[in-house]
Amino acid sequence: MVRLACISVPRLPLQIAQARETELSGLEYPLAIVREDRPTSPLLHVNRRAAELGLRTGLRYSEALALVCDLRAVTVPPAEIQSAQQALLEVLARWSPVVELCPHDAGSFWVAASGLSSLFGSEAQWGAGVRAAVKGLGYRAVVVVGFTRGATLVLARSRRRSAVLGSPEAEQRALAQAPLSEVPLEPRHRRLLERLGVHRFGQLAALSSDELARRFGVALVRELQAFRTLTLPLQPSGLEVAAPLIRQLEAPVTDRALLLPVVHELLDPVLDRLRRQGRLLAELRLEFGLELWASSLTPARLVEVLRPAAPTSEAKVWHRLVSLRLSQGEFPAAVTEVGLGYEEVGPPPGSGELFALPPTRDARRGAEALALIRAQWGNASVVHSVLLDSHVPEQAFCWEETTEVPTPSPLVRGELGVSVRRVFRQAAPRRAPGAGLRLGGPFVLKQASGTDGGRDQEYWFLLTARREVQWVSYDRRTQQSVLNGVVD
């Protein structure tokens, strides 16, 4: 007789949210899943802590918050649930040749279990291995091995421990004692049956179809018949297999504009998959294979790295960054191959919080502007200064690449403002050392020896006719003046 099993991850959305929230805070507090980001949204799932405090599914979020003041309600988007289902499908595919996703429950799967006892010792040992593999993803699962789809689904959802049913008769006896709340019926039909005292599946199965149709209508009879006839062969769920992100060009290309459609063709499926899974693209690597150079026997490769202001899966943002990068410069040789590499990340913390306050300062716009500058002029075009251990002003700092906008520190009322010295990356020569009102100096720096043969310089702060404070250095040996920066 054909054996199959049902692997149930109880309340998958709640397990997803609980793992995410516990990882962020390290604490367990009352948690509920709501349908949408509104006070009137009903509670879909509650964790054990919330249930102990008297909360139940169906309550509105505002009502639940009045009962439990520290309740935390979050939403789990469908893309995040699909991503978890995909990960579970990939894991279960290692333990059974056929895996099918249950249409009645997002966290339940049917798998073919015939002949697995000869490979794993027993069906119980196989089930223990499946639970351990699912636990590696951070989820708790219940495995029930039986003979029919409907019975294994109801038993896996209603039990807290896994089980192996040895015969069809044992399966039907266990199904008769299963609670009616786990049978896939319409909620209104289930409520009516519970009002009449029908709480177990065996009590419902004892009623005749004519009696059910007369009392509840033919819709309930059809639902019950559909549940009893879940005997079709398992339909394997198709796993998404990522295609290699490499494209060989039919002819060598030297024009960068002709490569833009090729990059979009490789990039768009990646962005579509990330949007479905609720993930974001943080870095994109464009690899271009070049023709053989005359002085080399191996093909050369050119790599361009793009980073947005913040991880995103929006196609228009990435299309603009790629277009800006490809519009600059020329290839040293014709391109024969285009490859794509990327780094994906999860959503930022707090993205599912209710009633999030808007930021008082929009740093995202500044980060987006820097991302466009890096895309057009290269990653080294956006830098910040880093202090070094040197008493020579020109050697007391260096420039390093940066991808973040620094957060300014507000001034405290009553304190003096701090002047900012804007240092030029390349000092500009000046004609005369004293063109302006002298505000400070000379600050004399003498160095007897060094890599440049010694120093004998003066540093001045000058106020120009445009009311600009300049930082100027004057070399006594060469009698040259250099504009090093300005002071705000």
Predicted confidence (pLDDT) per residue in 311-326, tens digit: 888 999 999 988 888 8
Using H for helix, E for strand and C for coil, what is the string for 341-355? EEEEECCCCCCCECC
pLDDT at 229: 64
Contact 200, 177 (CB under 8 A): yes
Higher per-residue pLDDT: 465 or 91:
91
Q: Extract the tokens encoding 174.
A: 């266990």
Predicted confidence (pLDDT) per residue in 26-70, tens digit: 467 788 898 887 888 889 888 888 888 888 888 888 888 888 888
What beta strand segments (E) does 135-279 contain?
Answer: 142-146, 163-164, 246-253
Helix (H) and strand (E) counts for the chain?
A: 15, 19
**Residue 433 pLDDT > 70:** no
Contact 43, 58 (CB under 8 A): yes
Name the pLDDT band for 145 (thresholds 50, 70, 90). very high
CA dihedral 15, 187, 60, 32 (to 10 degrees): -10
State the chain's mean pLDDT as an integer: 79
Planar angle of CA 159, 88, 124, nearest 5 degrees: 45
**Residue 341 pLDDT > 50:** yes
Name the pLDDT band for 297 (thresholds 50, 70, 90). very low
pLDDT at 242: 46
Single out the residue of 4, 226, 225, 198 nearest to residue 98, CA to CA: 4
pLDDT at 143: 93
Predicted confidence (pLDDT) per residue in 102-142, tens digit: 888 888 998 888 877 777 778 888 989 999 999 988 899 99
List beta partners, residue 446. 456
39-48, 287-296, 355-364, 368-377 — which one is most confidently predicted on average?
Answer: 39-48
Q: Extract the tokens encoding 125.
A: 């040992």
Distance CA 57, CA 438 (A): 75
Q: How many CB atoms lie within 10 A of CB 345?
A: 12
**Residue 24 pLDDT > 60:** no
Predicted confidence (pLDDT) per residue in 221-275, tens digit: 888 877 776 666 676 665 444 445 788 888 888 888 888 888 998 899 889 888 8
Q: How many CB atoms lie within 10 A of CB 29?
A: 14
Predicted confidence (pLDDT) per residue in 162-199, tens digit: 999 989 899 889 988 988 888 888 878 888 888 888 88
